[in-house]
Structure 1
Amino acid sequence: MVAAEESWGVSRPVALDEAVGLLTGAHQVVLLAHVNPDADALGSALALGLALHRHGAQVQVSFGAPEEPAESLRDLDVAGLVVPHHGVAHVPELLVVLDTGSVDRLGPLADRAETAGTTLVIDHHASNSGFGTHYYVDPRAEATAVMVLHLLDAMGAPVDLPTARCLYAGLVTDTRNFRAASPDTHAMAARLLVAGVDAEAVTRPLLDTHPFSWLSMLSTVLATARLEVGEARGLGLVHARIGSAHVSGGRQEEIESVIDVLRTTAEAEVAVVLKQVGEHRWTASMRSKGRLDVAAAASALGGGGHRVASGFTLDGECTDILDRVRHALADAPLLG
C-alpha cells in the first residue's frame, strides 16, 4: 500500500475484504477510469461494473475524456454501462476509481472524488497518491484487472465470457502481451481462456490493427525521433513528438501505439513520446526496458505510473519540457 495525500485527511488503505464490503453494500455506484482510458482502466471498470449491476446496484461507468471509448474497446460494454462524462451522477453514493494514479487524471470528473459519499480507489500504480476516502492499491499486481479478478472472486461473482473478455483485455495490454506477466498472471489468463475468451479476437484490435492513415502519421512522427545515447544515466534516450494536428485528427489507439514503436530502439533504455494536446500543453508517455525507474522521473514531472511505463502532462515549449525530462531521468533510480 502507498501513503495517502495529506489533503485527503480521512483517506485510508483497505484490505480485500473491506473493499468487497464497500462494493457490495452500495446501491448506486459510479466507476471511473482515467482520461483516455486504456484496456486495463476501462476493462477493469466494466468487469467490476457488470458484477455490481448483476448484484442489483445502479451502475454507471465513465471517464473524463474523450466523449466515447476508443473504437477497439467499445465491444467490451455488453450491458451498456458506459455513459458520457456529462451524464455522470454529481453525488454518487459510492465512487470507484480504477487504474488512476492521482485525482487530476480524472479530468473534468475529478470533483466527484469530493462530492461522492464514499470514494474507493483501486489501482496497481506504485505512484498512486492514495486519494479518496479509501484506497486498495497493490503495486505488485501487473494490471488493475488482476486486482479486479481477486475482488470478483471474493464477491462470489461469476467470471463469465463478457467479464472474462474485459479482464483479458486489461491483462494483455498492461503486460505487453504477457511478456511482463508472472506465472500467477499467466494462470489467470488461462482461466479466462477457459471461460471462452478468444485471445486472437481480443488482442488483434488492441495491439495489431491500424488504418492505412496510421502509416503516414507514423512516418511523420518518426521523422522527429532523436537518439541521445548519453542521456538517461548513460543508458540512452530516444524521443519523438506528435503535433496537435495528428493528436486531434487520429484515433487514440494510433496515437498511443507510437511509443511501442519507439521503444524498440536498441540503443535506448528509455523512450518518450510527447503529444501536443493544447497550444502549449503536452502529455508524455515514458517507457523503460527495465533498468531505469521512469515512474520516479514521471513523478518528478507531476505525473506517475509504473516503474517501466509512466507519463505526465506539462505546459510549456517542447524543447523546455525535453530538458526537464533529461534532468528527471538523470535523477531516476536504477532498477535491480
Structure 2
Amino acid sequence: MTLHEIANKILPMNKIGITFHVSPDGDAAGSVLSLYQALKKIGKEAYMISKDTISYNLSFLPFSNELNGECVSPKEDSDCVIILDCGNKERISADLEGFKGTIINIDHHLSNDLYGDLNFIDVTASATAEIVYSLINLLNAEMDSDIAKCLYTALVTDTGSFRHSNATPTTHNIASELLKFDINHSDIHSNIFDNKPFEKLKLIGYVLGNTELIYEGKLAVMEITKDTVSRLNIVLDDSSDIISQGLQIRGVEGAVLFREVEDGVKVSLRSKKYLNVNKVASVFGGGGHIRASGITMKNISLNEAKNLVLNQIKEEI
C-alpha cells in the first residue's frame, strides 16, 4: 500500500488515536506530536495514546505535556489508531486489546512485523518523521513552526545530528524545508543533547570507566546494572547517548550496551560500517536497523545475556 493510499484511508475518518513504541525516543515523540497537530488542523478528533511519559530532554516539544501516560487505550468509537515508529506489536505503547477499528502501521524499521490492517514501511527513510512529513503534505494539513519543530527534532535524533549514514539527500531536503518555519535549530540541539542531569553524566563516566574492548578492539562492551542505577539515584529513560560514546573509540566497529532491568536485560547494539546489528538482534527476537538495533531478553541474568549476544556478534564481526 502506498502512502497516498494510506492518506486517502485516513481522510474520511474522524476520531483518530496516535501512538508509538514504548520508551519513546525523539523520532517516535516528534512523529506522533507532529501528526497529532496536523490531524487537528484538518478537523479530525485526534488524540494521543501512551503508556509512557516523555523524557526530560523532549519536554520542550509542543503538546508534549499531553503525553502523560493517562490515556493508555483507544477512546470509544475511534475509527483508527495510527502507530508510528514501532517495529512490532509487543512494543506498542498502548493497550489495543479488543480494539475493533483500523490499525495503521507506519514505520521505517527493517524488522517491522507488518502487524497493522494497513502498513506502510519505508526502510530508506532516515526516520519515521520523513514519512510523516510526506503524509502531512498528502493530507493537505498546513505546516507551521510547532509541527516543524517536532519533525526537525525527530530527524536530528534518529540521524545523530545528521552524521549517521542513514541521513540521505531527502533527509537534508526535508530539514531545509522545516527550517523555513522559523525554528531555532540551535535551541533544539541544546535541549536534546546539552540537557543532561549531573547524575546521568556520572553514569556515563562510570560506564566508560568499565568499558571493555574485545575481538581485537573492534567491539566496545558496556553494561549498566540495577545496582549502579540505584546507587547513582537516577531514572534511566534512555541510554542511546551512552552507547554512542562507545562508537567514538578509534578502531571500534561496533558497540553493545547491556542494561539490567527488573525482568531481564535490555541490549542496545550500534555499528559504524559493516557489522549488521539487526541480523544479530533478530536471532534473539529483537530488531531495528542495520546499524542500530535492540533486544529485550526476559528472565535472564546479565552474564547469560552477555555470553549469548557476544558469541553471536563474534560470528558477524
Q: TM-score, normalised by structure 2?
A: 0.91
1:177 is matched with 161
Partner Cα distance (2:267, 2:197) in 1: 23
Q: Given the superposition, is the C-alpha separation of residues 183 and 273 from structure 1 closer, same or farther in structure 2, using an over 3 Å criterion?
A: same
* RMSD, matched Cα: 2.1
Paired residues of 1:228 and 1:237 also in contact (CA < 8 A): yes
Deviation at 1:184, TM superposition (A): 1.9
Aligned length: 311
Paired residues of 2:22 and 2:91 also in contact (CA < 8 A): yes
- Correspondences of 1:105-254 after superposition (within 5 Å): 105-106=91-92, 109=94, 111-112=95-96, 115-180=99-164, 181-230=167-216, 236-247=218-229, 249-252=233-236
Structure 1 letter corresponding to 2:31? S
Partner Cα distance (1:99, 1:36) in 2: 11
Which stretches in structure 1 are left out of the alignment for 5+ residues? Answer: 1-13
Partner Cα distance (1:288, 1:71) in 2: 27
Paired residues of 1:95 and 1:113 also in contact (CA < 8 A): no
Paired residues of 1:33 and 1:41 also in contact (CA < 8 A): yes
Paired residues of 1:304 and 1:312 also in contact (CA < 8 A): yes
Q: Given the superposition, is the C-alpha separation of residues 254 and 141 from structure 1 closer, same or farther in structure 2, using an over 3 Å criterion?
A: closer
Deviation at 1:202, TM superposition (A): 0.7
Structure 2 letter corresponding to 1:58? E
Deviation at 1:89, TM superposition (A): 2.5
1:41 is matched with 28
Partner Cα distance (2:211, 2:304) in 1: 16
Q: Given the superposition, is the C-alpha separation of residues 147 and 329 from structure 1 closer, same or farther in structure 2, using an over 3 Å criterion?
A: same
Partner Cα distance (1:87, 1:126) in 2: 27
Deviation at 1:129, TM superposition (A): 0.7
SS in 1 for 2:239: helix
Q: Given the superposition, is the C-alpha separation of residues 247 and 150 from structure 1 closer, same or farther in structure 2, using an over 3 Å criterion?
A: farther
Identity of aligned residues (%): 30
Structure 1 letter corresponding to 2:184? D
- Correspondences of 1:64-79 after superposition (within 5 Å): 64-65=51-52, 68-78=53-63
Deviation at 1:80, TM superposition (A): 5.7
**Is the counterpart of residue 295 in structure 1 residue 274 in structure 2?**
no
Greater mean alpha carbon deviation, residues 160-169 or residues 48-57: 48-57
**Is the counterpart of residue 15 in structure 1 residue 5 in structure 2?**
no
Q: TM-score, normalised by structure 1?
A: 0.86
1:94 is matched with 80
Q: Give a deviation string over 1:235-293, Cα, whole Å, max 9, x none.
A: 72111111224557434466332111122122321101111221x51111110002111
Structure 1 letter corresponding to 2:221? H
Structure 1 letter corresponding to 2:205? S
Greater mean alpha carbon deviation, residues 92-101 or residues 259-268: 259-268
Structure 2 letter corresponding to 1:207? F
Paired residues of 2:31 and 2:150 also in contact (CA < 8 A): yes
SS in 2 for 1:112: coil
SS in 2 for 1:162: helix
Greater mean alpha carbon deviation, residues 252-261 or residues 235-244: 252-261
Deviation at 1:196, TM superposition (A): 1.1
SS in 2 for 1:76: coil
Deviation at 1:56, TM superposition (A): 1.9
